[in-house]
Amino acid sequence: MRFQISHFRLQIVLVSLCLCALSTGLKAQDVVPAPGPERSVSIPAVQEKKLKNGLTVAVIEKKSVPIVTAQLLVRTGASSEPAAKAGLANLAAAMLTKGTKTRSAEQIAEQMEFLGGSIGSGAGWNGSSITISATSDKLDQAMAIMADVALNPVFKQEELDLLKSQSLDELKFNLTQPGFLATYVSSKYSFDEHPSGGTPASLEALSRNDVQDFYARSFVPNNAVLIMTVDVSLSNAASLAENLFGKWAEGKVETANAKTAASDAKKDIVRRMLVVDLPKSGQASVNYFKPIASVGRNSREYYTASVLNSLLGGGYSSRLNQEIRIKRGLSYGAGSSFTWRNANTNFGTRTQTKNESAAEVAELVIAELKRLAESNAADVELNPRKLVLTGGFGRNLETTGGLTGALADLYSFGIPTSELNKYMASVSAVGPATVKDFAASNLFGGDMVIVGDYAVFKEDLAKRFPNMKIDVVKVDEVNIESPTLRRSDVP
């Protein structure tokens, strides 16, 4: 009996200790740990050599690195295609790996796989590219395949038909998804652009001649940069490039017509509200879109915008995610982003929520945008968000792919490569007053775009925004070639 009592008491003591430890742990979690010190980043020098045909060869020599990355960047992308041919740049770039004069699409893929590497091609708004990754001992062979893909594509009709069919199927499915549909509509409604991936009508109409013409006027050496992050000296890399690309004929470089976003600073955050009615959608996509004039990728305000974005919607601890997901459980995630152009940028926030909470989330987004513009962020909040940026930047440059991508971004916009070394200090120098001023000057007068089942949130939206005119377009009527977004209003 004595043993049983002692054993019982021992159990009580152990339970008490566990509860005490648990309580202490919970209290410790209430205090957010301070961020660690800012890490320094050592960025190797970028060495350049221009070949006789105008091709720039840029090399970052990474000693004893087993994986090498090379990218052929062509400074022409979707910004150079007419709206009626939306998707042309991406289709033309994707076709490069679908067959050359000496290799079929299957052979290209098989040979790169045999080398233990990969190859991919595509286009964005600002440029087109071919990227390879391979082990350093297979560099010459992998580069030979890249050169063949870049210089000798044949654009077979059957491959083009297959790629168009796949692209159309993917697009038609995506247009049933609230988040994608909001971004798609905003390209015209908010930013006066066209979707770089194309529209059903534009993709269907693209021909082999269109692809060949785009390739012929865009893929010329004096419009390109060959970026190599390798364990090879500049002289050896330039010699390899000369052997593979030296006969590439120089051509005329066309300049894209840059659009300048209209400046529209107003007293209210929301200038217009658009609802795309998607009946029986599982969720609603709630977005705020705003074109920002005169703040392009070359602007020094790029760093202010980056810090603002980190604070507002650049990660799990950002304000939007804190307010919408963590505090209220209204979404799995909320964020924001800047999409850069040469002379301007497109800003947007995004989140998906239940249809029933769409109007509430729209209010929360507006409240956070106002808070940015009306009060300075405390250093205890802002400094960790800046460290998120500089930490991510440093980690990205530790890989050959990340370093190559960072250089490609600079070359796309004609920014000196020395800017890589200024990133950490430029981000660190951004202060709370600068962020507030940027928000007050640039984030007012945008569009709230909601895609979802309008019948579910119609009354709540009208109640929360009684003075706002709400433009409603049914999903079956959506046509971004129309000035009103409605298929029935196409001229």
Report, as ranges of residue numbers, the positions in the chain whose pLDDT lies below 50.
1-31, 263, 265
For residue range 94-113, list pLDDT tens digits in order.
999 999 999 999 999 999 99
How high is the pLDDT of residue 12?
43
How high is the pLDDT of residue 277?
98
User: Same domain, yes or no, for 121 and 233?
Assistant: yes
User: Same domain, yes or no, for 396 and 363?
Assistant: yes
How high is the pLDDT of residue 267?
74
User: Same domain, yes or no, for 354 and 458?
Assistant: yes
For residue range 188-203, list pLDDT tens digits in order.
999 999 999 999 999 9
The pTM for the full model equals 0.89
Give the β-pairing of 270-277 and 67-74: unpaired
User: Same domain, yes or no, for 294 and 187?
Assistant: no
Would 304 be classed as within a structural domain?
Answer: yes
What residues make up the domain containing 471? 270-489
Decide if 148 contacts 102 (C-beta within 8 A): yes
How high is the pLDDT of residue 402?
94
d(CA 478, CA 87): 18
Decide if 108 contacts 163 (C-beta within 8 A): no
Q: Name which of 352, 104, 359, 75 is nearest 217 in CA terms.
A: 75
How high is the pLDDT of residue 43?
80
Identify each DSSP E strand in 139-202 by its residue range.
none
d(CA 273, CA 446): 9
Q: Name which of 336, 91, 304, 75 is nearest 196 in CA terms.
A: 91
Q: Residue 20 contacts by C-beta under 8 Å, 6 or more apart in sequence?
A: none
Q: Residue 25 contacts by C-beta under 8 Å, 6 or more apart in sequence?
A: none
How high is the pLDDT of residue 17?
43
User: Same domain, yes or no, for 69 and 176?
Assistant: yes
How high is the pLDDT of residue 74?
98
Would 258 be classed as within a structural domain?
Answer: no
How high is the pLDDT of residue 6?
43
d(CA 338, CA 344): 10
User: Same domain, yes or no, for 213 and 297?
Assistant: no
